Structure 1
């Protein structure tokens, strides 16, 4: 698995950078807030994983995003997967908790966040992968061997690796 360059600013359609992601980048700005986020390792009967391609960076990751106020982590995971990939899921377990303070995102609004990621295991209940064309430009099922060669969103490589490894114990950090 490869990750995007750390500290990169991403552009899309010749517009201003949407956001910048810093993963273990000594030049990263200091985070001002911790943001609860969820990502979902959805697998199908063939052992393939659902990934989405970000519109802003072109990198791949599990479907997911920030939780909304008043929402549980599991509800956010189901919502984000349906929104970003068009697939309804049932949560089946926990990949892990990821809270690396050296993973920092500067959002388009200028806020600098440290994501606190809850990554779930899930199975698809219905739907076919399709991008939302807002945050995602592609979505599909991928064999673990294919994922090893894909360009992944910075930071996402960790939870993808743990999900594919399939450890019986969740990763905790």
Structure 2
């Protein structure tokens, strides 16, 4: 299913749902950030996805990272909570979601970056490379907050 990200777009469609979702900020020993290139829109992003029934939200972060990247992580904290009503995601099936995402801090445990149905590429990205790849502004904000190692989670 294709998706279009609308960020501060006054002509964006009105949202029809809010779904609890996560993203995960993980760095390796060299300080590189684990990113995927999404198959649904071609943009680079932190791994993540929607919470399943019967699942703790931290379990969602671990599962989604494993499914999308092949990397096992441990949740170590919260980078922030992202609920910008001016960020909506329009899906090809007609659903339009208002942004609601908890970005977790994760610690790399094991595994090698491996693609999935949701990721056409997976790799560790240096801070210098971040400006060279297409990333949605909302996702870039989460990455920046993760790199800043803020003392308190972002709430916005």
The correspondence of residues 88-167 of structure 1 with structure 2, limited to 5 A, is 88-132=72-116, 134-167=117-150
Inter-partner Cα distance in structure 2 for 1:162 and 1:44: 17
Q: Which residue of 2 aligns with 1:30?
A: 14
- Following superposition, the deviation at residue 155 of structure 1 comes to 2.1
Q: Which residue of 2 aligns with 1:13?
A: none
Q: Where do 5+ consecutive residues of structure 1 fail to align?
A: 1-16
Is 1:95–1:120's contact at 8 Å kept on the other side of the alignment?
yes
C-alpha deviations, 1:85-117, integer Å up to 9, x for none?
A: 000100111100000000101123211111211
- Following superposition, the deviation at residue 71 of structure 1 comes to 1.4
Is 1:22–1:154's contact at 8 Å kept on the other side of the alignment?
no
What TM-score does the superposition give when structure 2 sets the normalisation length?
0.95
SS of the equivalent of 1:148 reads helix
Is 2:2–2:40's contact at 8 Å kept on the other side of the alignment?
yes
Misfit runs of 4+, over 3 Å: none
SS of the equivalent of 2:19 reads strand
Is 1:86–1:129's contact at 8 Å kept on the other side of the alignment?
yes
Inter-partner Cα distance in structure 1 for 2:65 and 2:138: 18
SS of the equivalent of 2:115 reads coil
**Matched positions, count:** 156
Q: Where do 5+ consecutive residues of structure 2 fail to align?
A: none
Does 2:61 align with 1:77? Answer: yes
Q: Which residue of 1 aligns with 2:51?
A: 67
Inter-partner Cα distance in structure 1 for 2:133 and 2:125: 10
Is 1:95–1:171's contact at 8 Å kept on the other side of the alignment?
yes
